[in-house]
Amino acid sequence: MKKIVLLILALFCLKGVPALADEGMWVPALIQSRIKDMKAKGFKLTAEDIYSINRSSLKDAVLLFGSGCTGEVISDEGLFLTNHHCGYYFIGSHSSVEHDYLTNGFWAMNRSEELPNPGLTVSFLIRMEDVTDRALKGVGDEMPQAERDSMVKANAADVIAKATAGTHYEAAVEPFYYGNQYFLFVYEKFRDVRLVAAPPSAIGKFGGDTDNWMWPRHTGDFSMFRIYADKNNNPADYSKDNVPYRPRRSFTISTAGLKEGDFTMVYGNPGRTMQYVVSDAIDYAVNRGNPAKIKMRTMRLEIMNAEQAKDPATRIAYAAKNARVSNQWKKWQGESKGLARLGTLDKKRAFEAQFTAWAADKPLYRDVLPKLRALYAELAPYAFARDYYQEAYQAIEMTQFAQNAAKGIFKPDAEKAGDGFFKNYSQTIDRLSTQAVLGEYVKNVPAEWTPAYFLEAVQKAGGVDRYVDELFEQSNFSTIEKYKALASADSATKAAALQNDPALLLAEAFNTFYNTKVDGTYKRLNTEINTLYRLYMKGLMEMQPDRTFFPDANLTLRVAYGTVEGYSPVDAVYYEPFSTIDGIMEKDNPDIYDYNIPQRLRDLYRTKEYGRWNVDGSVPVCFLATNHTTGGNSGSPVLNGRGQLVGINFDRTWESTMSDYEFDVVKCRNIIVDIRYVLFVIDRIGNAGYLLDEMRFAK
């Protein structure tokens, strides 16, 4: 197949709408195409400074944290920053009532106090390469999709094998533009990552769900870790003999601050965007999928919040779970509202009418949209069943634990499986939540999309609530005492119990139904849809030859750039782009838990003992910019025009959550914690100023 040359230059937008330069998530290896515009906005460096394989560049200080966040190296001894909410699980894993690091914060005062985090990895991009020709070798336009996929997979495996031969690197070949282009990514992954510092949640999570996705914001959303390597500076499993990693590059920190209109750049790993989907996808999200998911998560959050407020142990146990549930819950609400405000659905339909007219005399493209619409109509009931499977059945903690524990129940150390689960478990929360979400399932999902076993069990029990009560009363997996009794029983007793345990029977019913009736068809239809999108994208580019396209996010390294700007969320209201410590105190409200302020911060505010972080009698906290971001950009470094670290990206405004589908430069803003507030908290709240000694500051 002839290679499609796709210079990453500008966003596809609807006819009649001007292209907006702040839009886009640009491929670092192709950033030269954007340098002229970046320099016009205030960038002072070169494309080679952003991405290079011949010398160290800014990319070498950016890392993938785990499998869904970004981080930035800030010292030559492996110290790095990411968001507090990215590190939240690991902070919580070290917390207890006696050592409540979530509430009180954690500050390692020397390296021996840094805490290991089993399972946590960080990955650095070594290089990326356009391998479209190699990935599509032997692939023909008329080839059946299954055959095409098989050949691309084999070609990619060959590319990966050759790229990693003789190294400890890992690699992946990722599709861009629905498979019109392919890139190779080669990574170095480190496995010994230790917690160094985390502020109290009243700082790192200040504002909580109340302020999530909102502006003005006053959240010190950061945590600090250190990478360790073996004596040769190579990745290694945790060992006391490991030493701090010596990075290829670390960021210089600027404490000079920014002003409105100044250049900013986000360098990170955005997770997923869907800029080019057709109106049918938007219609389902706004009118069916999002409302259902929002309602079920609302129920769960109300139950969690009520129970967490009753005692500290439950609050700690469910802190990370609550955060995970509420994050998407609020995003879906803002997304639906934003898409409605922009009229995205109507604009998509209008553009599709233009595409249909353009494609009328082009056999290759004229049937693309009708086929897509037919597939989306066929997909809808499967997508609806999938949404309820994920948001209702998979929300039941006990059944998820039961499935995992049952796999190892015959092992000698089976009892240990319960320790981690029940440490952070409330049967009350799980039971009440299960009653709520399964009640929604029965109410809204047709019987033909529901496991027969579940419907019969509910009918026999006399309703969902009574069925759930019996489920928790009778299962061997509902309390640690019952689980340990099962784990210590003889093999015959275990086997009999597993065959009749109601949690396992429910799990088997839902999983079997989903895997046989929903998942296969859902995936097949999406594969067919993506096949058509590959052709649709090709048609869009032919229809708009003067307009080229940035690729949707796929958790690979990207550059987004823009400027510091405020915005107007509604008529007659304008938000300034900066917040300060004064705003924290203005939010002080004993009736709102999310606005709890640590006493140490109150004292510093009262005495104004801000030290070197004093700016006009206050301390900067957060700021806004017009960078195009999404999930995965959490923890990303935010850089000034000289490539110096000025903040950490952590959120978007609520008005921006629809930007995964459509970016609006007038409304869309990313939210950044100012690096000066991060340093102020480390220095004045954590009394860990020694950490600043290994950082490099701009003069």
How many Å apart are CA 307 and CA 429, to the nearest integer?
7
Query: What is the per-residue pLDDT for 672?
Result: 99
Q: How far apart are the first and last CA of the chain?
A: 52
pLDDT along the chain (699 residues), means of 10: 34 36 88 96 98 98 98 99 97 93 97 98 99 96 87 98 98 96 98 99 93 95 99 98 99 98 99 97 98 98 95 87 88 93 96 98 96 98 98 98 94 88 95 98 97 98 98 97 95 95 98 98 95 95 87 97 95 96 94 89 97 98 98 98 99 94 94 99 98 97
The radius of gyration of the chain's CA atoms, rounded to the nearest angstrom, is 26
Residue 580 pairs with which residues in a beta bridge? 620
Query: What is the per-residue pLDDT for 323?
Result: 82
Known catalytic residues? 85, 221, 634
DSSP designation for 276? T
Whether the predicted model's global pTM rises above the 0.95 cut: no
Task: Select from 167, 207, 1, 84 the least CA-distant residue to 681.
Answer: 84
Q: Are 281 and 274 in contact, with CB atoms under 8 Å apart?
A: yes
Query: What is the per-residue pLDDT for 9?
Result: 30
Q: Which two tokens stand for residue 430?
A: 């799980």
* Phi and psi, residue 91, nearest 5°: -60, -45
Query: What is the per-residue pLDDT for 546?
Result: 86
Q: Are 595 and 207 in contact, with CB atoms under 8 Å apart?
A: yes
Q: Which two tokens stand for residue 43?
A: 């960038």
Which residue type sits at 5? V
Q: Ramachandran region of residue 207, left (φ > 0), alpha (ψ -120 to 50) or beta? A: left
CA distances from 310 to 10, 305, 316, 451, 662 (A): 52, 9, 11, 36, 42
